[in-house]
A = this chain, B = another copy of it.
Amino acid sequence: MLLGSIEAGGTKFVCAVGNNDYQIVDSIVIKTTTPEETFEKTINFFKKYEDLAALSISSFGPIEIRKKSSKYGYITDTPKKGWSNVNFLGTIKDAFNVPIYWTTDVNGSVYGEYINFQKNGKDLDSIVYYTIGTGVGAGIIINGKFIGDMGHPELGHVKLKRHLDDLNFKGICPYHKDCLEGLVSGPTFEKRVGKKGQDVPLTNHVWDIMAYYVAQAAIQMTLTFRPEKIIFGGGVVSETFLKKVRAEFEKLLNGYITIDNVDDYIIMPLIDDNGSATYGNFALASSLINKN
């Protein structure tokens, strides 16, 4: 029996087939071009595996996740050209007669990290996973379940207190200018310092400003959910950066509630090689089989 994972991003699709232990048996990276071409390559990859028992898709969005909506399974109004109002789930369903799970990219990732904790004997109930890359988003699990019924969280778009050394930066979100995503996503580096984030040394003050904002996101989640872990993944995040985030977090929280050990609370993904979503997808696909 094999499980299928589609981690659908705006830049690339990572497709993988895994076994019962969620180990990857085969995988492929497909460039995200037109929906037609990308779906065709995706379907061709999985068609090789007759033993495929279930699939899970964790997709970039926004996507429709309300089952009673006529647009359930669609990518809705994404800024990604050609991908608005695209029936993603329906297209894959038409090609495979297996149960298919449908959720957001960050939900795939948070579920992967959650299951990884369980498998390693850490019985956590509540974790939050932020990705900070081209965009910013978060997936949340509370009591073993995703948050988001009427729609998935959009935590990239909250407002924050502006850093005093950053008041002249307008922010780059096309909808909200200086929301979280508009202030800390990868492309902000070009706008602020004229080069890519990977070329900006962590000693540059811009990283302190970033940490101030990301710490506020962690504060929001802490005061809303009191989760057991807040995980930060995505291209912008490194352990050195998270050190700054933790320091800002403690300064901003000011002892208001007790966090036992912040080094153990604000962390990077434990699954290697950006594998959280694939691992999560295997587990979500597997959950569909157990159900039937």
Contacts and interface: CB of A to CB of B under 8 A. Distances in A.
A82 interface: no
A256 B219 contact: no
A139 to B, nearest CB: 12
Q: How large is the interface on A (under 10, 10 to 19, 20 to 34, 35 or more residues)?
A: 35 or more
B226 A155 contact: no
Interface of A: 62, 125-126, 140, 142-143, 145, 147-155, 157-162, 175-176, 178, 216, 219-220, 223-228, 252, 254-257
Given A161-B160, A162-B162, A216-B159, A225 B175 contact: no
Nearest to A228: B150
B223 A157 contact: yes
Given A147-B142, A149-B126, A153-B224, A161 B176 contact: no
Nearest to A255: B175
B62 A257 contact: yes
Contacts of A152: 226
B151 A142 contact: no
A65 B159 CA distance: 30
Nearest to A62: B257
